[in-house]
Structure 1
């Protein structure tokens, strides 16, 4: 199955950035929710304290419980007013303690108030609101009468005000609660119980603050847009960092194939610019070194031809035919070995530009040349035209060495061309005994021969495959050897294709 993403540094960087942004967004949402919840609770408590102080201030200005009941019912945020012989507000509530302390610190005149309690709950049974189904264990006050019709003004003493109908989700408008206890006091409702002389308590159920906290959806939307913008910017930044690395990888591959080095444009971050500058310096020095070695070997080859020519002249002057032939064979072998060694030394030192080469035409021409001199070679071309960047003379020399090796050890060479995606394969089969598995790589080493007689007529100098491999590697390719199940050896030369 194909991968969804290419395994590159750019892909990994983008995935890491996206994953980090997603985690950051989740943490930001959680943090916002916790902070917003705490801020909302603090604001709610502050609003409840202020509302309770207003009710207590209103109670201190009234002469008795009846007057306070009427005054409290006229307040818009009062839901229910009831006179009783006990307080429905708890005395241990935190908001109530804040109200008590602020009232004491204000130094206001309490008037007829004996005491008061404030809480966000009550000590009596659960209450039902008109228009809502009663919760389990709920009880309606004994003196509650049906609510007045809409627009009739405040309810009479001891009655609930008509609450608005529930929302689309069937939720009370006064709190966060939901479920079977919806009928209990929601979070924005609170009880203020004021005691007057004679043990008369006026219990006021009122609302204060908002019924819900600030919405989190706008924050999530803005945060998502911001993180998306950051992710896009991070992608461009990663691409800016990764592009010089791509160029460096391409230049390294080209240098490894023996292509002429073109200095890379130095760009990107400072540390990456240093790497590219170092690569340019290394490639320039490497090309200079290779060229110097090539020049030395060419000079040595040229200088060796002079004494070899002199020796041939001296050999020709020998009167004994047998001695003269023996000397000439020795000189031929010495010249052949010298030229092979020079080819082995210079086969991977070329730095000039490669040419676009039709590999099918090159292999077909080589096969025909060998057939013309009587060599048993057959060639099967590919249906598609394949082009490679090559030095035609060097590549021809490498393939000729492999074909002649197949003919020498395997009686014949059957050559065929195959397309393999972005590569082309030149397959050379023979009918020989094959190569032992333990020596598959050893045959590419210089002066290594499987034929142990050291006779150049039957085994050569042991440099042919070594030269071929160096040339193929210089073309960015590779050579593979294997034994065929039906017998014989198979040499596969694989070269990268080029666009025409």
Structure 2
């Protein structure tokens, strides 16, 4: 579930991780600052109330009882109540560490007096206070007055205790938003430069997998990316040299076979017709195979320069020269791509020849599919068993093993066409039509 929510790209995942870490760090900092602020506010309140009651003690002891009530009334505020009572409000010794610390501070300020202090937390009692928790500081100091009953100076201060970090603080949200925009903006620019070579590497690898040996990567950027690009380019060079050597070997083999085959045919023709017939047919099959090897080697078209190719015009020439037809009302408009025109002509020519030879017709369709040019060549033949469709692109594989040289070649036409299409960064597939026949589909980057 979590994996489906993550962005697909590396940059998106890194930005998500960075944003999560940044938000978590800001929330942690906010929590720490809020706790520290609460502690300082609490200590300030306790010190303020302690100073007030310490300053009131001499005044209360110097006046008569009536004046004490007036002073207590004037010293009280909305959150603090001061009173003179016969008994202390704090009747027991403080138990908590804060209460003991406050009592100790009062004893140091008013030495030799009986006093107590307590800090308590109580829920709200009034409707308007909601669910807030209030903290109450209570101080009781016995006044030193001659004669009469004992008098206690009591101070009760109450304040609302904050429930947690101020998540609704506008300033915090503003700072968090600005930090996110600044950090993520800089990170996005950095990641864009970092991932662009990776995108190019993926595109080049995909093209190399389709047989394009001319694609290379610029060896720029960080050291790891330069090393990766250099390794890819070296791999492409090695594969290109291997393919070139393989094609030269195949072409040399096909060329060298022609001489002994021709010599054997001349000798076979000197024999009686009954004995020479089977030998000549076998030698003709070998000649077709040797010619196919040479055509297969030339199919790569490595020596041909890449140039703009009008695919519609190239197919129109095939329609005119080979006797094919357009599947639509007529020839489509110009559609230009970069490629090797002779090699592409050989590839589509093989596909048209196969359709005419084995299917009796060749209907061509040209259109665009996204960023690709799509060419479809359909025939009216019997089709090919589905389990043999992929094998048809292998060298020397024919649709029917029983086909003779009068109706079929050496089984290299589709293999040559596939090699040329792959070398242009395209794809080729075979599929049986719903109403019979075979359809060859070619996709080329437009």
- Residue of structure 2 in register with 1:411 after alignment: 360
1:296 to 230, 236, 249: 249
- Residue of structure 2 in register with 1:356 after alignment: 308
- Residue of structure 2 in register with 1:144 after alignment: none
- Residue of structure 2 in register with 1:83 after alignment: 84
Deviations 1:11-32 (A, max 9, x none): 333334334444x25xx32652
Deviation at 1:241?
Answer: 1.8
Q: Using the alignment, how far apart are the partners of 2:7 and 2:154 within structure 1?
A: 69
Deviations 1:436-476 (A, max 9, x none): 22222222222223333352112322222222222222222
> Is the contact made by 1:72 and 1:81 (CA closer than 8 Å) also made in structure 2?
yes
Q: Using the alignment, how far apart are the partners of 1:5 and 1:86 within structure 2?
A: 67
Deviation at 1:359?
Answer: 1.3
Deviates more, 1:261-270 or 1:448-457: 261-270
Given the alignment of the two structures, is residue 179 of structure 1 paired with residue 112 of structure 2, yes or no? Answer: no
- What SS class does the counterpart of residue 457 from structure 1 fall into? coil
- Residue of structure 2 in register with 1:490 after alignment: 439
Q: Using the alignment, how far apart are the partners of 2:161 and 2:47 within structure 1?
A: 16
Deviation at 1:44?
Answer: 1.4
Q: Using the alignment, how far apart are the partners of 2:416 and 2:108 within structure 1?
A: 103
> Is the contact made by 1:65 and 1:196 (CA closer than 8 Å) also made in structure 2?
no
Q: Using the alignment, how far apart are the partners of 1:53 and 1:388 within structure 2?
A: 89
Deviates more, 1:3-12 or 1:480-489: 3-12
> Is the contact made by 1:90 and 1:121 (CA closer than 8 Å) also made in structure 2?
no
5+ residue gaps, structure 1, are 127-133, 137-170, 172-177
Cα 1:365–1:58 change in 2 (3 A) is same
> Is the contact made by 1:44 and 1:188 (CA closer than 8 Å) also made in structure 2?
no
Higher helix residue share: 2
> Is the contact made by 1:72 and 1:204 (CA closer than 8 Å) also made in structure 2?
no
1:437 to 380, 386, 404: 386
Q: Using the alignment, how far apart are the partners of 1:485 and 1:263 within structure 2?
A: 41
Q: Using the alignment, how far apart are the partners of 2:444 and 2:138 within structure 1?
A: 85
Q: Using the alignment, how far apart are the partners of 2:158 and 2:327 within structure 1?
A: 96
Deviation at 1:487?
Answer: 2.3
> Is the contact made by 1:10 and 1:242 (CA closer than 8 Å) also made in structure 2?
yes
1:201 to 118, 131, 151: 151
| 1:253-292 superposed matches below 5 A | 253-259=206-212, 261=214, 263-292=216-245
- Number of corresponding residues: 431
Cα 1:441–1:394 change in 2 (3 A) is same
> Is the contact made by 1:77 and 1:207 (CA closer than 8 Å) also made in structure 2?
no
Q: Using the alignment, how far apart are the partners of 2:165 and 2:437 within structure 1?
A: 82
Deviations 1:37-71 (A, max 9, x none): 35413541353145325523541573467366566
- Residue of structure 2 in register with 1:102 after alignment: 105
For the aligned residues, what is the CA RMSD? 4.1
TM-score, normalised relative to structure 2: 0.79
- Residue of structure 2 in register with 1:426 after alignment: 375
